[in-house]
Structure 1
C-alpha cells in the first residue's frame, strides 16, 4: 500500500468513526425513534464497579429528592415556580433521559400528525413492565423565537398535551408523570436559538431504583 493509499484509508476510518458517533448522538432526534430506543435510554444502567469501592447512596439526599417529587407530583404545570423548575432540572441532570423531536401544529399545543408515531412509541416504552413504578418528568422546550413569556406558556401547554395523550391512550398514571415547561431558557443549541433541535420534549426517568436489580 502506497503512502497515498494509506492516507485515504486512514481518512475513511476516521470518517466512519465520526459518522458512528454522530448517529449515536442523534438517536433521539431523528424523528422516528422507536419504543425500544426510548426504553433503552430510560432504563437505569447497572453501576460499573471498578477497583475502588463505590460510595453508597446518601439516604438523606434520596429522602429529600423523594419528598420534593411528591410536592410537584400533583401540581399543575403552570403553577411551578422558577425555583421548582430549576430544581427539577438539577435532579434530572443525572437521570436516564431522552430528547424527542415531537412537532406541534404551528402556534399550537396540538401534536402534529407526523409526530404521532413518536408519541405512540413513548407510550409503549413507558408502559413496559421494566419501568413500572417509576416517576417520569415530561419537559417541554421551545426554540428562541418569540418572547420569554409566550414560549414559557407554550412549552407548558405542550408538555401537558403529551401527558394527557399518555394517560388517555396508554392508561398511564397521571401522578407518575410530572410536567414542566422551560420555554426557551434551556436551549439544546445555544449558538442557534432558532434551530428546530431546540423544539423538543425531554423525558426523564426520575426513579433509578431499578438500576441495582
Structure 2
C-alpha cells in the first residue's frame, strides 16, 4: 500500500491507490497485473468490468452543465491553489463517476514512483490516451491516512497527485487541461474507523465523462 502520510514511520516503500469514492466498495489491482484494456473498461460508462476492477454504477453520458463549468475552471490550476470549498465540491461531483483502483508504489518518503510500479503506470498512461477515452476529463486526487502532521499529509497528497499527472502528460501525451489534480491529505478518510489504515493512503483517478461540449 502507499504510505502517503509519514513514510519514514512505515516501510521504505509507499503505495498509491488510484480509484474513486471513499464510500464505494473498491478492489485493488496489484501493480503490474492490470492491463490498459481493463483500465479502459473500468473508466468507461456502461462497460463490464473484470473481477479485479471496481467502478461506480453506470451514469448518464451527459454531464451537468454547472459541473462542466466548474471543472473547466479547474483546468491548469496548480493543485495547491484549490480552496477547501473547491476540494469539497470536487469530491461531491466525483462520488458517482466511473473509477479504478491501482496499487502504485513510491520511493521512501518521496513522490518519486518506484521501479516496481512502472507496469501499472504504463497501463494507466496507455488507457487514458486511448481513443475509447478521448475527450474525457480525469480528476487525480491524493489522499493520506491520519498518521503524521496534517500539513505534511496535505502536501504529500498533492505532490503525489502531481507526479501522476506529470508522467501522464510528459510520457503519454495526455493534455494537462484534461487532468485535474487535487490533494485531500487526511481530511477524507476512506475508513474513518481506522484512520491509520492502509486503505486511506491512496490517489483516486475518476473519469468525469465526456467534456467535449465545453470549451477547453
Structure-to-structure mapping, 1:93-104, within 5 angstroms: 93-104=95-106
User: Is the helix fraction higher in 1 or 2?
Assistant: 1
Larger strand percent: 2
Q: CA deviation at 1:75?
A: 0.4
Q: Which one has more relative contact order, counting CA pairs under 8 Å at least 6 apart?
A: 2
Point out where structure 2 has 5 or more consecutive residues left out of the alignment.
1-24, 48-59
C-alpha separation in 2, matches of 1:151 and 1:29: 24
Please say which structure displays the higher CA radius of gyration: 1
Deviation by residue 1:109-139 (Cα, 9 ceiling, x = unmatched): 1112211211111101101101000000011
Is the Cα contact below 8 Å between 1:29 and 1:197 reproduced in 2? no
Contact 1:103 1:199 in 2 (8 A): no
Shift of 1:45: 1.1
Moved more, 127-136 or 200-209: 200-209
SS of the residue corresponding to residue 140 of structure 1 reads strand
Alpha carbon RMSD of aligned pairs, Å? 2.1
Paired residue total: 174
Cα distance change on mapping 1:208 and 1:172 into 2, 3 Å:
closer
Equivalent runs, 1:19-168 vs 2, <5 Å? 27-31=27-31, 32-45=33-46, 62-168=64-170
Name stretches of at least 5 consecutive residues in structure 1 with no aligned partner. 1-24, 47-56
Deviations 1:186-209 (A, max 9, x none): 222223322222222211000257
CA contact (8 A) 1:44 1:208 kept: no
